[in-house]
Amino acid sequence: MTDTLYERVTARPADTPSPVALNLVLADTTLFGEDDSPGWVQGYGPVPAVVVRDLVSDAVTDEAAKATLRRLYRHPRSGQLVAMESKARIFPKGLRAFIGVRDQTCRTPYCNAPIRHHDHATPARDGGTTSGLNGLGGCEACNYAKEAPGWQVVTHDTDGHHTAVYRTPTGATYHSTAPPLPGPTRRHSAIEGRLSIDIVELKWTA
């Protein structure tokens, strides 16, 4: 009877495992053992490097598991994800995943609840774009609260730091900056930067 109930509720045979998606974020340097920066499991938090390497190894070697690699690009200074753009009114699946990985928890200051909504900081009705810059991850309560009269939320990107500025009906202002991804960020000297520009210019004119 239990098996029958399970099949009718889930529309899956009782002896078939249910798929579980695990979003694991880690730096490539951590994956290949160049550093021991912790990884990040969405919905859980930081995980030691040795554990995330074992998780990746187990997923790759398990024939029954489906491991998908998705590359994420960080800003060289801030360590945050770069933006993605879309002309859709509703955030598409890929952009929702991007915002969820970037923000990790509700972006409203002092909340830190799990993300349930992917919302426009500047509403679409006011000309807000469906983009990584204007998108925010939020919990259900905070998303509804900011629609009340007197609330205003704007976002900006300064040197790779995605920041949301919340202004409340009482006039208070709070700043929320997206956390950096795990792994070290590399800083290049002015000489290295100039050398890369020279190489690009040389290839372009060749």
Mean pLDDT of 44-61: 86
- Shared domain for 173 and 113, answered yes or no, is yes
- Shared domain for 123 and 165, answered yes or no, is yes
Q: Could you report the per-residue pLDDT of 155-193, keeping only the tens digit for each?
A: 999 888 899 999 999 999 999 999 887 777 666 555 555
Q: pLDDT grade, residue 202 (50/70/90)?
A: very low
Helices of type H across 87-189: 93-103, 140-145
Encoded tokens for 132: 């990584």
Whether 188 is covered by a domain: the verdict is no
- Shared domain for 30 and 96, answered yes or no, is no
Amino acid present at 182: P
- Shared domain for 163 and 96, answered yes or no, is yes
Whether 53 is covered by a domain: the verdict is yes
Q: What is the reported pLDDT for 91?
A: 80
- Shared domain for 101 and 170, answered yes or no, is yes
Give backbone dihedrals phi and psi of 145, rounded to 5 degrees, phi first: -65, -40
67 Cβ neighbours under 8 A, 6+ residues apart: 56, 59, 60
- Shared domain for 52 and 128, answered yes or no, is no
> What gap in Å lies between CA 60 and CA 67, rounded to an integer?
6
Please give the full DSSP string across 98-143, using - where no structure is assigned.
Answer: HHHHHH-S--STTT-PPP-EEEESS-GGGT--EETTTEEEE-HHHH
- Shared domain for 155 and 105, answered yes or no, is yes
Q: What is the reported pLDDT for 6?
A: 77
The DSSP code for 124 is G
Between these two residues, 17 and 123, which has the higher pLDDT value? Answer: 123
pLDDT above 90: residue 105: yes
For the chain, the domain total comes to 2
Most confident among 18-32, 34-48, 132-146 (mean pLDDT): 132-146
> What gap in Å lies between CA 177 and CA 170, rounded to an integer?
22
- Shared domain for 96 and 39, answered yes or no, is no
What does the mean pLDDT of the chain come to? 80
pLDDT above 80: residue 82: no
Q: What is the reported pLDDT for 186?
A: 63
113 with 140: CB under 8 angstroms? no
The DSSP code for 127 is T
> What gap in Å lies between CA 129 and CA 125, rounded to an integer?
10
Whether 196 is covered by a domain: the verdict is no
Between these two residues, 139 and 180, which has the higher pLDDT value? Answer: 139
Whether 159 is covered by a domain: the verdict is yes
> What gap in Å lies between CA 161 and CA 178, rounded to an integer?
7
Domain range for 54 is 2-61
- Shared domain for 54 and 94, answered yes or no, is no
Among 157, 182, 205, smallest CA distance to 30 is for 182
- Shared domain for 106 and 158, answered yes or no, is yes
Coil/strand/helix, residue 46: strand
pLDDT above 60: residue 201: no
pLDDT above 70: residue 2: yes
Q: Which of 35-49, 108-122, 142-156 has the lowest mean pLDDT?
A: 35-49
Whether 193 is covered by a domain: the verdict is no
Whether 29 is covered by a domain: the verdict is yes
Mean pLDDT of 32-45: 86
Q: Which of 37-41, 62-66, 178-182 has the lowest mean pLDDT?
A: 62-66
- Shared domain for 98 and 168, answered yes or no, is yes
- Shared domain for 89 and 168, answered yes or no, is yes
Whether 202 is covered by a domain: the verdict is no
